[in-house]
Structure 1
């Protein structure tokens, strides 16, 4: 059975002090959150250890924004799976469009990262999505199908979350129409051998549109960027109103 997964991706925001201030405001707002909703905060590497200590015993899970495929070595600026699990991280974002666009990630390296994450006991949140140019050219289906084919080689679907993030809607204020997001997520699901993989929508998710997004039958959650930085706003997203 598919579960609901709501994850906040803080990107390069929040110091340790700011992350603790966020938790002090955020955690009390989850007292009445439905039990079937998995809540994840994907924080900068420097925040993870201090956040882990303050999340102990709560329902919030900790995620990293990336993970390397080797356990150690000459990989300046990277982080190994064991470094994450040691501080209580249970999820790792892989293949985010910003990593693909700005830091040269390919489907091959995304697959390496996802496989390494699973080997270490981390659950990858695998991001796929098309650019505006690709969408305008009618290539959405072909692009996403190819991404999935390459990214999922050797991946255990029982320990995976997929996030559909149309690149043209990330941080732009433009949101993919909820019915169109539902259609594409249905396409993603049709490419999987398991019907139980949670598939999120990501791309300018906010308090004003979360209810509509989550009313769609194929959408199992959200990967939230800027709107996850505000404790009250993100709590509203986590506590979306079911149809």
Structure 2
């Protein structure tokens, strides 16, 4: 069976860097940039993942723009006595389109395991949203070592979500986060190609896209396009002009 077509995609997470006022101003400036090239949203998918507090206001600001809004996390049950958690059912109800799960920070700080991430991915997909699953190896080494470590993360997720559900994998070597030297482009492309070749990815009916979630800069996608479908930006994308420039680069890359 031929693989479903994959659109290029780029997005940003604001993590916990923005105030509510800054988030509102950021989205307004982003929309101004997009108004210069409205056709760009017909060429690629774009998403923004704000904090939970400003999520609904961002959804309202982006209404009618085709820019997707995501959440930075969600619980794995739809409802119940889970004080402080965020219901995926409510996220879907208010118009959230993507749910980020399994970020390295949550694995490190909150002790989330592959099984927790898989359950959260399943809850997002069950409620009609796209799970954006962060994956990556902790130990620096050969491509084969990275793939072996990522395989477990990916297989857990794919076993949990429906076969026809769309999934986005955001790959970033954990050892490269904050490191003086980022992972090389050749290394990233090689790992991503091996992840795509996993049976649990190849045999799926649903679309599986792979993003690179590491430090971004001008020209990065051009070096990675052979392997990835797009980029998941962090602080680099917190400048709306740089985010827009990255969109242009991804949309125009041959």
Report the TM-score, using the length of structure 2 for normalisation. 0.87
Question: How far apart are residue 136 of structure 1 and its match?
Answer: 3.2
Aligned to 2:162: 156
1:205 aligns with 2:209: no
- Distance in 1 (CA, whole Å) between partners of 2:44 and 2:84 is 33
Aligned to 2:229: 220
Question: How far apart are residue 179 of structure 1 and its match?
Answer: 1.9
- Distance in 2 (CA, whole Å) between partners of 1:34 and 1:55 is 12
- Distance in 1 (CA, whole Å) between partners of 2:100 and 2:52 is 12
Aligned to 1:235: 244
Aligned to 2:114: 107
The question of whether the paired residues in 2 share the 8 Å contact of 1:170 and 1:202 is answered with no
1:56 aligns with 2:67: no
1:66 aligns with 2:73: yes
Which one of 122, 135, 148 corresponds to residue 142 of structure 1? 148
Aligned to 1:96: 103
1:20 aligns with 2:24: yes
1:7 aligns with 2:14: no
- Distance in 1 (CA, whole Å) between partners of 2:75 and 2:116 is 9
- Distance in 2 (CA, whole Å) between partners of 1:64 and 1:94 is 9
Report the TM-score, using the length of structure 1 for normalisation. 0.91
Question: How far apart are residue 156 of structure 1 and its match?
Answer: 3.0
Counterpart of 1:66 in 2: which secondary structure? Answer: coil
After superposition, the C-alpha distances for 1:31-68 in whole angstroms (9 at most, x for unaligned) are 42262211000110011011111110002110001111
- Return closer, same or farther for 1:18/1:172 CA change in 2, 3 Å cut-off: farther
Counterpart of 1:175 in 2: which secondary structure? Answer: coil
5+ residue gaps, structure 1: none
- Distance in 2 (CA, whole Å) between partners of 1:233 and 1:225 is 11
RMSD, aligned α-carbons: 1.9
Question: How far apart are residue 172 of structure 1 and its match?
Answer: 4.1
May I ask how many residue pairs the two structures share in their alignment? 239
5+ residue gaps, structure 2: none
- Return closer, same or farther for 1:175/1:188 CA change in 2, 3 Å cut-off: same
Trace 1:82-93 onto structure 2 (pairs within 5 A).
82-93=89-100
After superposition, the C-alpha distances for 1:194-218 in whole angstroms (9 at most, x for unaligned) are 48411111111123534323xx322
